[in-house]
Structure 1
Amino acid sequence: MTAPDHLRITGPEDILGFIPHSLGYWPARSVVAMTLQGKRLGATLRVDLPGEGGSPGSCGSAGLAAFARSVSSYLEADEDADGSLLALFTETDGDGTPWTELLTELENALADAGMPVRDAWLVGADYWRNAYCLDPSCCQPPGRPVEEIRNSRLNAEMVFRGSTVGAAPGTSLRTPPGAADPAVLAAQRDWEQLFSACGRDRSQFGQVLDVWSRVLDAPAPGQKLASDLTGYLRASLCVPPWRDAILVMAAAGPAAAQRGAEDFGVFDGGWLDARRGRSLAESKPVTSPLAPLPLLEGFPAPTPRHGRDGNSGGSASDPVPEVPGYGEVLLGLAPPLPDWTSMARLERVLEQVGAAGGEAGAAALTGQGWIEWCRGKGSFADALFSRADEEHPGYRLAELLGELVRRGTLCGWARRRETAWQRFEPDVA
């Protein structure tokens, strides 16, 4: 690794200007807490303001104290933190009186956790101010223009480096009705009919993962895919064990995907035959997998995943890493470090494959949501899970993962600095 490239903060406008780039959007009705490691920024956490419509007074003292302890517990994942910063995005301008009790509870909880608050700010719709400053010469309500944040030196530097601030979670445009390619849907129907006879075939399972690997390993994984190939990918997402294996493979490699299928009895028909209401005796495995090789012209053979699936290519004396199960991978508990590059490539492919909607669209949205949750972006994840449920009401995986997000559960990788996804390469000091 090369030495980290530092972005320097010279004032509060820079800190507040960094927040939207860290989150990917300008927060609204939010508490944003950042850990400090000496003079260096650590983790960033965003949570909704407590209370009805972001009015903390409706929570009561006990509710605010519980909220503050929850914020503190999340930030404790940064084991090197020795301080914290707070920003309350309230969308209202004026003095800070309504937020005094909330700030006090946050200060107490963070101090008890060894992360005392070093500074805090209130950011309204048009003005911002220091939450502790009482000097009317510089902090007189309603404060200083928010444009100072948007025009800060660090904000300009982030834009120069290619960072963008997008729409808030749930506000991005949906695919308009009728936009689906009929050729894609026709190809999907054809592949679904063929897959229905070989869903528990081991060779077909391996070939599906091979096709996805080749698409993900393409030089431009977001390139426009042919209709037949898009239909194939969509049809494979409609077989839940294959869908889960694709997510696991992206994060942990093909050996983890294979092991999970074995554990769930996919190949002996345990899951698929129960789903179709057939007994094992009535089911016949398919020995000749459906080969979509003409669809893959121009796609290279998949690159071996070294060091993630037990096939590291080392000497015979090297210990073979234990292959994680589906549950461990989907919760971010294993492997020790996920393949963030492969997951980002999968995200781009899912965006394209899911555009035609339906059950496959819900599967694609759920996969995107899972990747966002793994990154620690719960708001984006929740919005994608909600969209998946709208696309295909009752979509089970979206419901299960959405419940994790709503309970405030953090992905295991996101809880550890050494494994967490990094939006930016440079450190910020």
Structure 2
Amino acid sequence: MEKLTIKTPSDVLSFIGHTLGFWPQESLVCITMHENSIGATLRIDLPHQPGQELAYARTVAHYLTSDTTATSVLFAVYTSETTQAGSLRPQASTIAALTGVLAEQGITIRDGLFVGDDTFSPYDGEPGTSIPLPVSSTQTSAINAEFIYRGSFVEPTDQITLPSSNQAETKAAAVEHHMENIQAQPTEAALLQGRKLWADMLDSQDFPADDDCHALVANLQFPAIRDRLIADIPGMDEPMQQVLFAQTEQAPKWSRIEWAQQLLLHAYTRTSPEHAAPVLTAIGYINWWEGKGSKAHQFLQLALDTDPAYRLARLSDQMIGSGIVAGWNMNKNTAYTALPFDLP
């Protein structure tokens, strides 16, 4: 695929929005770089407790240095907090701490942006000395046009809105019917049947019939089958544990993973709350693979809302909360990216 070149600050902000899938709020966003090639993108909530700047900077640096090829970083501070001429930018002490911590790792700050509700400007520019650009200019940037052409869009926030579902009792009965059939089979036969059903869905270009959705949801209720089906998503002939924790040298098939997420959301609308936790957990896992920790956390919390005792969702959320990054995102050759980019 031909690489695209990010030329303007509007291009940078468009890239961030499409990469994350939403417009950040009260956030620090960092993009790692090697020479002129873009690497990983990190979004993290801004610190709000004074005195925590150094600890915060070390946490951010820990994530950024997961990209072992990174030599410099672009950053953007998104905040509704305003600044006046003669005053320091909001989060100035945080950025200073981050600059020092990254310098210890041999990584420099290449540039920064200050993004308000309506305008943005260079972070290091003296407030009042540069003309801020409207945030709306990102909508006419070349990079934004390319992303939209490829079918991407930017949500106003990262809050997940699940598709609606109804007729819960009827759907629950349909899923339980399939569960009874699965339980009646030998374990190996049930596993093979579940994998074939899932493989056929992943290989198809159409959404499955409702009965197949009920069958998929039923299979996901059994932990041994569930784990195998999740590991089948990336389309790799690798040990299941290495796939689940994104620790393969081979890159996954990201288009297949994105299709799997659409299929699971479709299946979610064909099930009831009592059977939804495995479906939402699988979607959370996909978002973790893609480096979207905030969305992964939200899906896992939604899974726990439907079943507070659902162990995989709880353990996965603890894993993400501890700062563990999916292995694929530590290598630019395997990390999830929507498009390849260069900076001039």
Q: Same fold (TM over 0.5)?
A: yes
Tell whether the 8 Å contact from 2:81 to 2:90 is kept in structure 1 after alignment: no
Tell whether the 8 Å contact from 1:372 to 1:378 is kept in structure 2 after alignment: yes
Q: Residue type matched to 2:54 in 1?
A: A
| Pair 1:248-2:228 in alignment | no
Classify 1:99/1:135 alpha carbon distance in 2 versus 1 (closer, same or farther; 3 Å): closer
Classify 1:123/1:135 alpha carbon distance in 2 versus 1 (closer, same or farther; 3 Å): closer
Instruction: Name the Cα RMSD after superposition.
Output: 2.2
CA distance in 1, matches of 2:67, 2:147: 24
Q: Residue type matched to 1:423 in 2?
A: A
1:423 aligns to what? 338
Tell whether the 8 Å contact from 1:31 to 1:88 is kept in structure 2 after alignment: yes
Classify 1:337/1:153 alpha carbon distance in 2 versus 1 (closer, same or farther; 3 Å): closer
CA distance in 2, matches of 1:174, 1:135: 43
Tell whether the 8 Å contact from 2:283 to 2:296 is kept in structure 1 after alignment: yes
Return the match for 2:47 from 46, 50, 54: 50
Return the match for 1:338 from 237, 252, 262: 252
| Pair 1:85-2:68 in alignment | no
Tell whether the 8 Å contact from 2:233 to 2:256 is kept in structure 1 after alignment: yes
Which range moved further: 368-377 or 94-103? 94-103
1:329 aligns to what? 243
Map 1:250-289 to 2 at 5 A: 250-251=233-234
Q: Residue type matched to 1:215 in 2?
A: M
Tell whether the 8 Å contact from 2:231 to 2:243 is kept in structure 1 after alignment: yes
1:211-260, Cα deviation, whole Å (9 max, x unpaired): 2112221233xx2x3232222112111111111110112235xxxxxxxx
Q: Aligned with 1:35: secondary structure?
A: strand
| Pair 1:205-2:194 in alignment | no
2:26 aligns to what? 29
Q: Residue type matched to 2:193 in 1?
A: Q
1:42-97, Cα deviation, whole Å (9 max, x unpaired): 2211111112xxxxxx230xx21121112112111222222111101112232444
2:50 aligns to what? 59
Structure 1: tracts of 5 or more residues without a match: 52-57, 253-307, 310-322
Q: Residue type matched to 2:194 in 1?
A: V
CA distance in 2, matches of 1:135, 1:124: 13
| Pair 1:192-2:106 in alignment | no
Q: Give the TM-score taking structure 1 as reference length.
A: 0.73
Which range moved further: 358-367 or 370-379? 358-367
1:373-421, Cα deviation, whole Å (9 max, x unpaired): 0111111101110111112222111111111111111011111111112
Tell whether the 8 Å contact from 2:172 to 2:275 is kept in structure 1 after alignment: no
Q: Residue type matched to 1:371 in 2?
A: I
Q: Aligned with 2:234: secondary structure?
A: helix
Classify 1:206/1:153 alpha carbon distance in 2 versus 1 (closer, same or farther; 3 Å): closer
| Pair 1:128-2:120 in alignment | yes
Tell whether the 8 Å contact from 1:186 to 1:231 is kept in structure 2 after alignment: no
Deviation at 1:339, TM superposition (A): 3.5
Return the match for 1:379 from 283, 288, 294: 294
Map 1:117-196 to 2 at 5 A: 117-134=109-126, 136-139=128-131, 143-175=132-164, 178=166, 180=168, 182=170, 184-196=171-183
Q: Residue type matched to 2:121 in 1?
A: R
CA distance in 1, matches of 2:222, 2:159: 27
1:357 aligns to what? 272
Deviation at 1:167, TM superposition (A): 4.7
1:236 aligns to what? 219
The count of corresponding residues between Structure 1 and Structure 2 is 339
Say which structure, 1 or 2, has more relative contact order (CA 8 Å, 6+ apart). 2
Map 1:208-227 to 2 at 5 A: 208-220=194-206, 223=207, 225-227=208-210
1:303 aligns to what? none
Return the match for 2:317 from 382, 386, 402: 402
Tell whether the 8 Å contact from 2:246 to 2:327 is kept in structure 1 after alignment: yes
Q: Residue type matched to 1:338 in 2?
A: P
CA distance in 1, matches of 2:163, 2:302: 9
Q: Residue type matched to 1:159 in 2?
A: I
Tell whether the 8 Å contact from 1:370 to 1:381 is kept in structure 2 after alignment: yes
Larger radius of gyration: 1
1:7 aligns to what? 4
1:268 aligns to what? none
Deviation at 1:135, TM superposition (A): 7.0
Classify 1:243/1:127 alpha carbon distance in 2 versus 1 (closer, same or farther; 3 Å): same
Tell whether the 8 Å contact from 2:280 to 2:303 is kept in structure 1 after alignment: yes
Structure 2: tracts of 5 or more residues without a match: none
Q: Aligned with 1:334: secondary structure?
A: coil
Classify 1:197/1:70 alpha carbon distance in 2 versus 1 (closer, same or farther; 3 Å): same
CA distance in 1, matches of 2:158, 2:167: 22
CA distance in 2, matches of 1:203, 1:196: 10
Classify 1:181/1:160 alpha carbon distance in 2 versus 1 (closer, same or farther; 3 Å): farther
CA distance in 2, matches of 1:42, 1:132: 23
Deviation at 1:335, TM superposition (A): 6.0
